[in-house]
Structure 1
Amino acid sequence: MQVENRTYAQAVECLNSLQTNAAIIEAINKAGGGINSRSLPEMREFCRKIGYEPRDFDSLNIIHVTGTKGKGSTCALVESILRNFYSSRKESMTNKIRTGLFTSPHLVAVRERIRLNGSMLSEEQFAKYFFECWDRLELNNLQHNFVEQLKPNYFRFLTLMAFHVFMREKVDVAIMEVGIGGEYDSTNIIEKPTVCGISSLGIDHQRYLGETIDLIAWHKGGIFKANVPAVTVDQPSIALDVLKKRAKDVNAPFIQVETHTKESLGNINIGLAGQHQLINVSLAIELCRIWLEKHRNIKFDIERVPQEFVPGLVKVRWSGRTQQLVLEKYPKITWFLDGAHTIESIQACMNWFNETAISKVDESQKNKSESSPNIERILIFNCTANRNGSEMLKNLTSQNSYIHFDHANFCTNVTFTTNQFKPDLQNNTIRIDENLTWQKTLAEIWPTLMSRSQKSETHVFPTIQNAINWVLEHCKENEHEVQVLVTGSLHLVGGVMAVLEIDV
């Protein structure tokens, strides 16, 4: 069958077949497996099977980014700055920078993960490039008479496909976000990137990276390469020491950037909301400065933000992260979407929500940690059971916030009921608990975090669609303006966007 005759739906079906079953993942983890030193040799071999040597990707002038919090936002900022860099310059038509962006996870459609010039691949493009990679792997298996059809797992395949897309499209720069960690991540077959960046570090993915910040920093610092600038932001001191040592071990120039203030950025309105985004902006600016000096021979005054960076900072969009919107068909509801999924990022999310939603609250109410009489607030939350749900919920309660939630809805990350299934949102790596044990546990924890004078009703739902339907029905019954915060998981946010048919 010819590539051009196959569809996006067929590509997604094939891709989903590469997802590792949840039970297998659990068995591997119990045996002490998972991310390990075998990952990269295997990835390099898969790379060769589709026709590339890792050194071929040096031509992509890669910006490689890892971190715990903000790595996706940093990548989005870098891409927007570079794509819009020449918009105010005379030579814009001849020197425009063609960008490729690889990120994870996706919110609604898997093709969000691979973007060209800021736009995700079309369904036709995705199917074309997907089957080019798929068929090369199939042919290799046939040539070697493999009984078992050897293919990379879901994320590795998409990483290979991203490299293939960027090579075929001849992008000027590829911005590559690490999946998990760095040292053994499939993106780390990169040999000579232009610059490496590490966003804010915190505790996450302990099963794979370790329980302490120094172990996590070791993994993240694994992306550093000889003579390639290694750039990071303010970090916990023990993590910073580890990053410095990792940079020194490979002779990578180490740069720690200072965080810009709103004033030092000229009081511009950055396209990503939230005070915490200033950290990501600061990292992105330095990564772009280094890239432009090397590949466009443009020297910058490091004491100020280049004016050419401003269009990209203002125009950047990154769905599902500190995103606020009102939908025309539900005018009474303001949706606040943020995929925060660590204790630290949940705190940043609440800082943003306080800052954004507080304008709806009279100052007389502010110090009472109560809702305005005319505003009702609803939380929709889920996090994976291996994360510290109790601590995350503490950061969402009014004891740490000016905001009080009248209702807290806990649901799974299953998006639709079975008759409305969307293949892009299939996730075989998560075990489905039909008893909703984890959601019930979160619902039991929530009231214990309230003060005696506060009331917050809890609800448990089997799917995201059920939780959204409850909100919509509830809003029909009252005249209040409603604010809904969705957080705890990017998969949850993506599911909400799919149910509400919000464009990514």
Structure 2
Amino acid sequence: MSHSDAILQRVMGLHPKVIDLSLDRLMRLLDALGNPQDQLPPVVHIAGTNGKGSTLAMIRAGLEAAGKRVHAYTSPHLARFHERIRLAGALIPEDELSALLTEIEAVNAGQPITFFELTTAAAFLAFSGHEADYTLLEVGLGGRLDATNVVARPALTVITPVSIDHTQFLGDTLAQIAGEKAGIIKRGVPLVVSPQQDEALQVIEARATRLGAPLIVAGQHWHAAPEPGGMVFQDDHGLIDLPLPNLAGPHQVENAGTAIAALRALGFGAAEALAAVTKAEWPARMQRLGHGRLVEIAQTQGCELWLDGGHNAAGGQAIAATLAAMPKRPVHLICGMLNTKDVAGYLRPLARVAQSLTAVSIPGEENTLPAEATKNAAASVGLQATTSDDVADAVQSLATAHPGARLLICGSLYLAGQVLRDNG
């Protein structure tokens, strides 16, 4: 265990709840640290239910292609915590992370603070100490009371598609959830909005209007659509013909549109738009695994191995659409989920495109849904389902039984992270 991992482990015990949406504890800590959140390079703040990470990755690719240095804060991490904090493009070094965490732990002096609040303070402190041209901040949960929502004057805010998720924290209706996401809108700061359901869009637009935030809304101020062999983006500045995004899936066209609209709002043009769709990197989002132990097992039988961390109903729909658009091969799922998710809602769209599901429990994760429960949920939506002790066993038996198939490991970012670690 690295030094930073040991500190992060200790920090877990400082607040009884993993998630407790409030900004008071964090503001106290940031004040004691000299308010680093007020000393960041221009901030692009991104909320939404789905597509935040992909959209951020595309904005980053566009900015970096323009020669800009970009800080980025994302969550959760997959294999190592360091993925959450990028300093001017590079993952934060271990010695710097452990020094920051040591300082923050000392300043916090054992007072209640959640893991995400403390790590957000670490990101702000890291960013304020390094020169860059932009800071990209991804909301952890919701928006209004999220730890990232302490930057008083971002350069731009972005809201990606809003759907039902995290109802225990954000409310039961789309309007309530959209209201929480709209909490990142700031007076007079331009807001880019992805395609939304009407109920969500009304809430977002009403708040933006009240705060005098200029709106840049999909379908009104900009349009992105697939066309044969690529996609097209159009706004008041004109039309750009582009290849399809290098991130797989039809839903990535609207994420690309959002990223390009954001880049345009920051003053960038066609070259940056091209980089956004061709150079973005975002692991575990319909990622084809190319090497490693699990891939070797799959390839002995001519199978493809894919990985995706989506976990809510909208994520299930996006994966199903992506699989349906791929060259035809039989699809078999290996699925592990958390017990806080709408499992049937996630699996229902996948039942239409997959031949079977092998359920696993997520190893070392106390909130895992037992494999048996995932299997039962799959059966309830019409998917032929079994269980397996672990992912490697599942890959082995599926590859043996279905040579040449497309195998997709899915259901949770926690499972995806373990796969990326274990697969090497």
Length-normalised TM-score, structure 2 = 0.88
Question: Aligned equivalents of 2:187 and 2:381: distance in 1?
Answer: 49
For residue 81 of structure 1, the aligned residue among 62, 65, 68 is 62
Distance 1:404 1:259 in 2: 35
Aligned residue in 2 for 1:424: none
The residue identity in structure 2 corresponding to 1:497 is L
Q: Is residue 2:392 matched to residue 1:468? A: yes
Quote the Cα distance in structure 1 between the aligned partners of 2:231 and 2:332: 34
**Matching residue within 215, 239, 253 for 2:200:** 239
Unaligned 5+ residue runs, structure 2? 233-239
Residues 311, 431 of structure 1: alpha-carbon distance in 2 compared, 3 angstrom cutoff:
closer
Quick one: structure 1 residues 441 and 53, their matched pair in 2 at CA, closer, same or farther if it must change by over 3 Å? closer
| Alpha-carbon distance between aligned partners in 2 of 1:309 and 1:485, rounded to the nearest angstrom | 30
Aligned to 1:31: none
Alignment deviations for residues 150-208 of structure 1 (CA, whole Å, 9 cap, x no partner): 15211111111111111111221110000000000011111000000000010000000
Cα distance change, pair 219–118 in 1 and its aligned pair in 2 (3 A) = same
Separation (CA, whole Å) in 1 of partners of 2:51 and 2:368: 28
C-alpha distance in 2, partners of 1:282/1:210?
28
Aligned to 2:7: 14
* Counterpart contact for 1:409–1:460, Cα < 8 Å: yes
Counterparts of 1:191 and 1:205 in 2: how far apart (Å)? 25
Q: Structure 1 stretches of 5 or more lacking a match?
A: 1-7, 29-33, 86-95, 142-148, 301-305, 362-370, 372-376, 416-426
For residues 432 and 360 of structure 1, the distance between their equivalents in structure 2, rounded to whole angstroms, comes to 32
Aligned to 2:288: 324
Q: Is the 8 A contact 1:69 1:200 kept in 2?
A: yes
Cα deviations by residue, 1:410-463 (Å, 9 ceiling, x for unpaired): 122225xxxxxxxxxxx6xx4467xx3xx3122123234338xxxx351143xx
Instruction: Show the 5 A alignment for 1:107-118.
Output: 107-118=78-89
Match of 1:341 among 291, 305, 311: 311
Matched, 1:412 2:380: no
| Whole-angstrom CA distance in 1 between matches of 2:255 and 2:411 | 20
Q: CA deviation at 1:67?
A: 0.1
Query: Displacement, 1:396?
Result: 1.2
* 1:345 to 1:21, Cα distance in 2 relative to 1, 3 A: farther
The residue number in structure 1 matching 2:275 is: 311
Q: Which string of whole-angstrom CA distances, capped at 9 and with x for unpartnered residues, describes residues 251-297 of structure 1?
A: 21122034412331524242211110111111111212222x3xxxx
Alpha-carbon offset, residue 123 of structure 1: 2.2
Query: Which structure ranks higher in relative contact order (CA pairs < 8 Å, sequence separation ≥ 6)?
Result: 1
Classify the secondary structure of the residue corresponding to 1:497.
helix
The residue correspondences of 1:125-144 to structure 2 (distance < 5 A) are 125-137=96-108, 141=109
Q: Which has the larger radius of gyration?
A: 1
Paired AA for residue 116 in structure 2: F
Contact residue 340 and residue 488 of structure 1 kept, 8 A: yes
Paired residue for 1:3?
none
Alignment of 1:422-433 (within 5 A): 430-431=366-367
Matches within 5 A, 1:233-382: 233-257=194-218, 258-261=222-225, 262-264=230-232, 265-291=240-266, 293=267, 306-327=270-291, 329-330=296-297, 331=299, 332-356=302-326, 359-361=327-329, 371=330, 377-382=331-336
Q: Is the 8 A contact 1:227 1:251 kept in 2?
A: yes
Q: CA deviation at 1:394?
A: 1.4
Q: CA RMSD in A?
A: 2.4
Alignment partners' CA distance in 2, 1:478 and 1:404: 12
Summarize the Cα distance change of 1:388–1:327 in structure 2 as closer, same or farther, 3 Å threshold: same
Residue 20 of structure 1, CA deviation: 5.6
1:171 aligns with 2:171: no
Contact 2:68 2:134 in 1 (8 A): yes
Percent of residue pairs bearing the same amino acid type: 26
**SS of the residue aligned with 2:35?**
coil
Q: Aligned residue for 1:418? A: none
User: Which residue, out of 453, 459, 465, partners 2:387?
Assistant: 459
